[in-house]
Structure 1
Amino acid sequence: MHELGLTPIWRKKQSGVSTSVNTNLHSTIAIDDSDDHRFDRDKHILNLNWQQLKAEVENCHACPLSQARLHTVFGVGDEQADWLFIGEGPGAREDEIGEPFVGQAGKLLDSMLAAIQLKRGSNVYITNIVKCRPPNNRNPEFNEAEQCSPYLKRQIALIKPKLIIALGKVAAQNLLTTNDSISNLRGRLHYYSDIPLIVTYHPAYLLRSLMDKSKAWEDLCFAKATMESLK
């Protein structure tokens, strides 16, 4: 609790086939092969090891986010961690350094980890839905998250976490393929493939909305209890 700055005033508890007709009435069919390309790309990524995957991300230009980045932000921590924390996208400071959650939101995340006896790099891995900074710190768009999805899937497959914590609405909605609000997603156990997943607020949001820190603490307690049940 104290790590989160809380006081005991609350109770814990489209692609496809298109047809065009020319002026001579001879029909021509233009086949978009982007689906085949995407399948080949996904298949390639899902067979990479850690070193190869990092190199693939560093050289990625699959979406416009790559054009303005300073660094890709791959992820950090224990590559065999039981705990996997997934945010939405890098901010300005993360883009400068190339590591996720290194600004004020990162400090709060470290405090959140400490509140449940965890520490960055020790049985914890931290990454984001997208690996490049969206302009002006906006939320990642659907197509951007979709292009980064194979990288995240491969990270998850390599880590084999026991529990995933989705930090914020964007991460939760992408991982769970839903448009539900974070208030509807919190407090319940979800699954990503067969991996238990819990939703909580993004640390950057908590810096602006101090009253929701108590709810985040409830989520962390739920996560810790869930992890204990998995051992």
Structure 2
Amino acid sequence: MNRRVLGEQIYGHLRLFSALGVRYAGAARGERKAPAAPHAPGPSAGAVARETVAGDAAGAQTLEAIRADLGDCRRCALAATRNRIVFGAGNPHAALMLVGEAPGAAEDEQGIPFVGKAGQLLTRILEAIDLGREDVYICNILKCRPPGNRNPQPEEIAACSGFLLRQIAAVRPRVLCTLGAFGVQTLLGTTESIGRLRGRVIDYGGIELVATYHPAYLLRNPMEKRKVWDDMRLVRDRLRSPQGPGSR
């Protein structure tokens, strides 16, 4: 990873935790990567920044400023094969933010996340908990489509993750729902499987994080829809709860 990409990743982490009011971040001794408690501790910023975080910085940037900073991104090899950058879409002040993995073919053509078959399923899932796409903010770990819809590579995640963290800081949702393994693994810094991480609320720096399967996975494995419905009911319940770690 080159210094520029590393710097942007660190900057994204600092922006996120600053916006959340975290003034000191340090990894607890003996911290486990994949806690089994129903409310697991959020990610330790100690792996990224081991110094005091100034909590009164101007706060999160706007999504427009972050998109401008992303520009015509050439930070990884995906720039050579993409058609469009897929930054994100939806309500910039949403209480619910959804984070997927990477754009597909339809998203690469339109520049909008989740517009293909998986996106249509996601729309129906949201409607089932009384939400429209205009009510939420949606983005992906990667902003460019990997060739052939292959899995994101570590260097691609590293190049993009700083921008994702800044998006989270800008929106500052009450609930963060990750779709698929790469989103939750990236944010928590773990290799724990999505099957073990889903079904519970994880405190992510004051934001309630719920992990679930990606809609594309459901298209291939419809028998898992019940688990996703359980996860989305958990999301709905946290949004309706009058209090919680991420309440504004």
Per the normalisation by structure 2, the TM-score is 0.75
Q: Aligned partners of 2:157 and 2:5: how far apart in 1? A: 17
CA deviations over 1:8-55 (Å, ceiling 9, x no partner): xxxxxxx6xxxxxxxxxxxxxxxxxx4477326854995743222212
> Among 146, 149, 153, which residue is 1:134 paired with?
146
2:212 corresponding residue in structure 1: 200
The match for 1:51 is: 64
**SS of structure 1 residue aligned to 2:210:** strand
- The answer to whether the 8 Å contact 2:96/2:173 transfers is yes
CA distance in 2, matches of 1:227, 1:170: 23
Separation in structure 2 between the aligned mates of residue 87 and residue 71 of structure 1, nearest angstrom: 17
Alpha-carbon distance, 1:212 to partner: 0.4
Instruction: Tell me: CA distance 1:128–1:40, structure 2 relative to 1, closer, same or farther (3 Å).
Output: closer
The more displaced of 196-205 and 221-230 is 221-230
Deviations 1:194-230 (A, max 9, x none): 2110011100000110100111111111111122225
Whichever residue aligns with residue 98 of structure 1, its letter is: G
Higher normalized contact order (CA 8 Å, seq sep 6+, divided by chain length): 2
From 221, 229, 232, the equivalent of 1:220 is 232
Distance 1:50 1:36, change over 3 A: closer
Cα distance in structure 2, aligned partners of 1:138 and 1:102 = 18
Of 61, 75, 81, the match for 1:68: 81
The total of aligned residue pairs comes to: 198
Distance in 2 (CA, whole Å) between partners of 1:61 and 1:172 is: 25
Aligned partners of 2:61 and 2:170 also within 8 Å: no
Q: Percent of counterpart pairs with the same letter? A: 43
Q: 1:230 to 1:86 in 2, by over 3 A?
A: farther
User: Structure 1 residues 37, 84: closer, same or farther in 2, change over 3 A?
Assistant: closer
Q: For the Cα contact (< 8 Å) 2:178–2:210, is it kept in 1?
A: yes
1:162 aligns with 2:167: no
TM-score w.r.t. the length of structure 1 is: 0.80
**Alignment partner, residue 101 of structure 1:** 114
Aligned-partner Cα distance in 1 for 2:98–2:145: 18
Gaps of 5+ in 1: 1-14, 16-33
> Bigger shift: 186-195 or 95-104?
186-195
Aligned match for 2:99, one of 86, 89, 92: 86
Counterpart in 2 of 1:39? 7
Q: 1:37 and 1:177 mapped to 2: Cα distance? A: 17
Superposition map of 1:103-122 within 5 A: 103-122=116-135
Query: Following superposition, which runs of at least 4 residues in structure 1 exceed 4 angstroms of deviation?
Result: 44-48
Please identify the structure whose Cα radius of gyration is greater: 1
